[in-house]
Amino acid sequence: MKNKALRFDILTIFPGMFSCYLDESMMKRAKARKLIDIRVHDLRAWATSKHRQVDDRLFGGGPGMLLKVEPIYRALKALKALKSKAKKRPYVVLLSPRGTRFTQRVAERLVKRDRIVFVCGRYEGVDQRVTDHLVDEEISIGDFVLTGGELPAMTVIDAVARLVPGVVGKEASIVEESHSAEGFIEHPQYTRPERFSPKKGVHWDVPEVLLSGDHKKIAEWRLKNAKRAA
């Protein structure tokens, strides 16, 4: 078990997007218990222009704007996250549709880090020099287009944080849940009541095997009904 809280730093031009999520439920409790440390930084704080501009037009023409390399460089320098030989420097992740597909296995790899910095892209993305020289990895949460990297950052942080010992109440739930066991998606699950009748003559029942108390048969049923991940 780690002695220090796993730290997440988030670079974004919309820091307000994170408070509504990070200050609720599991994340709020994990922060209060000092199991994780999440710090959100406004990228505009490292802009040098009068209007704190962090984006500009594309060289060669084309629609949209790109986040500039200079403010991202300055921000990573201030966070001591520039690429170097230092063993303890933060691991820098760019949220990008071109990145590695995020999976539970990637979450299990990231939770071994002491500190992770997330760079949230916007508009048409970021200057390629950010990818080439400033980040350690690009991560994508799927083959679709979002307006920015903020939602992907929340997704990755959620998946990684819940792997920190103590964040989730029962350790067994982490071991057994979706995608953790040999590429299977979680089996169907039920809770009370045993029978739900939405209208007269219609009954939606819990499978009898789950009410049997026979743990071997229940385990076999769950394995049989689990779907393999795509």
Residues 112 and 97: their CA atoms lie apart, in Å, by: 24
Per-residue tokens: 84: 């170097």
Helix locations, 36-97, DSSP H: 69-78
Q: What is the model's pTM?
A: 0.85
Sequence letter at residue 160 = V
- 31 CB contacts (<8 Å, ≥6 apart)? 22, 37, 38
Domain 181-228 classified CATH 1.10.1270.20? Answer: yes
Each residue's pLDDT tens digit in the chain (230 positions)?
Answer: 456 899 999 999 999 999 989 999 999 999 999 999 999 999 999 998 888 899 998 888 888 889 999 999 999 999 999 988 767 899 999 999 889 999 999 999 999 999 999 999 987 889 999 999 999 999 999 999 899 999 999 999 999 999 999 999 765 455 555 445 455 667 899 999 999 999 999 999 999 999 999 999 999 999 999 876 55
Helix locations, 12-161, DSSP H: 16-22, 25-32, 69-78, 104-110, 128-133, 150-161
What angle, 0 to 180 degrees and rounded to 10, lies between the N-to-C axes of helices 25-32 and 150-161?
Answer: 60
Per-residue tokens: 120: 């949230």
Which of 180, 119, 174 is closest to 152 using CA atoms?
119
Assigned CATH topology for domain 6-171? Alpha/beta knot (3.40.1280)
Q: What is the pLDDT of residue 26?
A: 94
Domain assignments of the chain as residue spans, ordered by start: 6-171, 181-228
